[in-house]
Structure 1
Amino acid sequence: MKIEEVKSTTRQQRIASHSHIKGLGLNEEGLADRSSSGLVGQDAAREAGGIVVELIKSKKMAGRAILLAGPPGTGKTAIALAIAQELGPRVPFCPMVGSEVYSSEVKKTEILMENFRRSIGLRIKETKEVWEGEVTEISPQEQEDQYGGSGKTVTSVIIGLKTAKGTKQLRLDPTIFESIQKEKVSIGDIIYIEASSGNVKRVGRSDAYATEFDLEAEEYVPIPKGDVHKKKEIIQDVTLHDLDMANAKPQGGKDFLSMMGQIMKPKKTEITEKLRAEINKVVNRYIDQGIAELVPGVLFIDEVHMLDIECFTYLNRALESPLSPIVILATNRGITTIRGTEIQAPHGIPQDLLDRLLIIRTMPYSLAEIVEIIAIRASAEGLSMEEEALAHFGYIGSQTTLRYVMQLLTPSRIIAETNGRDKICQGDVEEAGKLFFHGKQSAQILREQADQYIS
């Protein structure tokens, strides 16, 4: 028999371009540390991002937009992702690129609206009446089939539930018995039954049975402390887009025609304005009653200069809606033409929208900062290198771009491993630089060898 040791069954995450970003890296006073949470430099932009986070958390930023403007490779996307990290996992963050709006299936404004509603969360608090405890008995009550069949039908089921305070016997409907069978509930399991809907949820196995079998792969939970019959608060997080989709696609019947209708439907359909208005009414009613709480998230639109005048006009109106998320725009363009017009404007954004924006500027990195960023990135990718190699990486980054030098890290490691070394040395970096050109080199070669290319 062959037995092999498995190191880990957890899925290995891919290293993405911003995997090292963990937050804005600000201290308690809101000032930026030189290097913290994966971010280096850009002190003013990070501190401005910290103020934005505070405004969002205090719910005083609805319907406002921010523009991150700066040269390519100065950390605009990194700062937007850091803001999302600071807000936490419960605040919706929806990233998109300006060119995503150009679809052959759906209108531009529909895609913008979809992403707007993906960025607005709704925290629904429900107080449900439940019966909870450890199952001590499951006794189905049967009777002869009234239609003259040979089998028996279940008329009701008696369930015994035990908590630390006491035990109770419940007589339940036969439909609840079906739910119990689906959940594979057995004696010794901890379950709860919702009084209003009759839904049965199996929580786990009682920890009193933890030592019964050595190889029983179960999640053991302690026996509930309170009464068997209690009120329990359940919190659900959904986005407005989830509500739109749930109401736009009601489940059809089980007949052949409705099944064919679902198959033949196009992949993407537009949600009507009327349906959204109805959902907004219900949401507002829930908020007024205190059942739900609105969680305005963040919509991040990268390469915002790719949007056209129609999209910009739509953004103007959408930002004034009471159900509006915080919109963070990013661009690396200077004075450029607004798409769909012949008008020149800063960042390719119309003047009336530009007036609504708080603009955060990102600055080019210094040589020392580039070296520090490369060191952080190398540790995120699990690379080790000599000091000379790190210094050479920094020099290349100052002459070219930060993106190019980041992309040279892994090829340099592969060259070092091919040469039988664990650490990257300066020679490996130089060899990788000869194999892979950067934008400026490529442009220079095109100029020098223009006669050999088709133009």
Structure 2
Amino acid sequence: LYIDLHLMSCLYFSSYSAMQVPFCPMVGSEVYSSEVKKTEVLMENFRRAIGLRIKENKEVYEGEVTELSPEESESSTGGYGKNISHVVIGLKTVKGTKQLKLDPTIYDALIKEKVAVGDVIYIEANSGAVKRVGRCDAFATEYDLEAEEYVPIPKGEVHKKKEIVQDVTLHDLDAANAQPQGGQDILSLMGQMMKPRKTEITEKLRQEINKVVNRYIDEGIAELVPGVLFIDEVHMLDIECFSYLNRALESSLSPIVILATNRGICTVRGTDMTSPHGIPVDLLDRLVIVRTQIYGPIEMIQILAIRAQVEEIEIDEDSLAFLGEVGQQTSLRHAIQLLSPASVVAKANGREKICKADLEEVCGLYLDAKSSARLLQDQQGSYIT
């Protein structure tokens, strides 16, 4: 495992204990696509691993809906149709009630949120945005089986100032600005109905979003939450991707990057040079390498016992010790794979618990990678080459 410590000094996990720290896992082979460039896939995952916690103090009307009455008027264009002139809504809190007269456009937002009498909602005074929080817990015994989320009736006054906190990633902001919704023309409607095709987000758009994010951070409106980008099988990346990684890590908006690989000295993809773990030496110099050691017999037995418990397989201690020896001779992965067939053999012999004889029978049926390679080498004349 390799950990890049860029931004590590400014990341205090104690201060982010109550926040949603983004974690974005990916595999090195994911970057190869016929639709999107390799560097675009890397940058997209980079932005997914950077969170933004936005805090805003807004004036809101919050409470349980006690009345929802749309008032109709005659259509201004003539005919038999009627228009919604305004909406009368009643909100109730612990301290009191209030009746509001709302614009017809807010009624559309109420319909979209599926607001009904008995729901707890809040309406932003400035933008008119409506958010349904849930069903009031006074109606919790209304049904025997419920799929609703019940919330207590709000405290305080109906009209109040409230701190609204939103956790988003930079990729969410990129996607929202790259494909803005709306438009009533025929092309916009057709674009919404058609299956969306994966498209790239331009570097210019990302730079503009970064400017806005930095301004929000400077003003104290938002707080940056650097997450973790985990890249497995990093040896699958080529020299172009590694060069892009070097540049991306220099950015002020960068997550902690963890690289994982099981390769030794091998060729860096896209070049003729060899390097430890298939990673260019200039990038290796920037990494902190986590040393890993081979599992000992006791550790293997503990891991096998946990795995058997997870798979709900019963096995005695002698069998676990024998399986630990098999893992030492072959590999831990092979020993774990033998648990399921051994369980089947034990049940076929009328036992619920795996014994040593079951494991010995299974070991004779299945070969590990080393034994298979040795067998192929010894009998290579019997196979088609």
Q: TM-score w.r.t. structure 1 length?
A: 0.76
* 1:234-289 residue CA offsets vs partner (Å, 9 max, x unmatched): 22221111211222222253544344456778832222111111111111111111
1:87 deviation in Å?
7.6
**Which residue of 2 is the match for residue 67 of structure 1?**
none
**Does 2:341 correspond to 1:411?**
yes
**Which residue of 2 is the match for residue 447 of structure 1?**
377
**Which residue of 1 is the match for residue 160 of structure 2?**
230
Aligned-pair identity (%): 67
Q: Quick one: distance in 2 between partners of 1:328 and 1:374?
A: 27
Aligned equivalent of 1:59, options 10, 20, 24: 10
State whether residues 231 and 258 of structure 2, in contact with CA within 8 Å, keep that contact through their aligned partners in structure 1.
yes
**Does 2:43 correspond to 1:92?**
no
**Which residue of 1 is the match for residue 292 of structure 2?**
362
State whether residues 11 and 226 of structure 2, in contact with CA within 8 Å, keep that contact through their aligned partners in structure 1.
no
Task: Report which stretch shifted further, 437-446 or 179-188.
Answer: 179-188
Amino acid paired to 1:121: G
Aligned equivalent of 1:374, options 304, 315, 320: 304
Give the secondary structure class of the aligned counterpart of 1:113.
helix
1:394 deviation in Å?
0.3
Give the secondary structure class of the aligned counterpart of 1:331.
coil
Q: Quick one: distance in 1 between partners of 2:164 and 2:272?
A: 54
* 1:67-118 residue CA offsets vs partner (Å, 9 max, x unmatched): xxxxxxxxxxxxxxxx9xx988821111222222222222222221111111
Aligned equivalent of 1:177, options 101, 104, 107: 107
The alignment yields a C-alpha RMSD, in angstroms, of 2.8
**Does 2:126 correspond to 1:196?**
yes
Give the secondary structure class of the aligned counterpart of 1:361.
coil
Q: Quick one: distance in 1 between partners of 2:249 and 2:104?
A: 51
| Unmatched tracts of structure 1, length 5 or more | 1-44, 62-82
1:312 deviation in Å?
1.7
Give the secondary structure class of the aligned counterpart of 2:314.
coil
1:446 deviation in Å?
0.5
CA 1:319–1:87 in structure 2 vs 1: closer, same or farther (change >3 Å)? farther
Give the secondary structure class of the aligned counterpart of 1:441.
helix
Give the secondary structure class of the aligned counterpart of 2:122.
strand
**Does 2:208 correspond to 1:278?**
yes
* 1:391-422 residue CA offsets vs partner (Å, 9 max, x unmatched): 11101100011111112222222222233322
1:184 deviation in Å?
4.0
CA 1:417–1:214 in structure 2 vs 1: closer, same or farther (change >3 Å)? same
Q: Quick one: distance in 1 between partners of 2:285 and 2:92?
A: 64
**Does 2:340 correspond to 1:389?**
no
Amino acid paired to 2:27: V
Q: Quick one: distance in 2 between partners of 1:95 and 1:407?
A: 25
Q: Quick one: distance in 1 between partners of 2:194 and 2:170?
A: 26
Amino acid paired to 1:384: E
* 1:350-396 residue CA offsets vs partner (Å, 9 max, x unmatched): 22111111111101111111111111111122221111211111011
Q: Quick one: distance in 2 between partners of 1:266 and 1:216?
A: 37
**Which residue of 1 is the match for residue 360 of structure 2?**
430
Q: Quick one: distance in 1 between partners of 2:113 and 2:193?
A: 30
Aligned equivalent of 1:320, options 250, 264, 285: 250
Give the secondary structure class of the aligned counterpart of 2:88.
strand
**Which residue of 2 is the match for residue 290 of structure 1?**
220
Q: Quick one: distance in 2 between partners of 1:313 and 1:143?
A: 65
Say how many residue pairs are matched: 381
Q: Quick one: distance in 2 between partners of 1:340 and 1:204?
A: 54
Q: Aligned runs of 1:116-195 on 2, under 5 Å?
A: 116-195=46-125
1:209 deviation in Å?
4.2
1:119 deviation in Å?
1.2
1:332 deviation in Å?
2.1
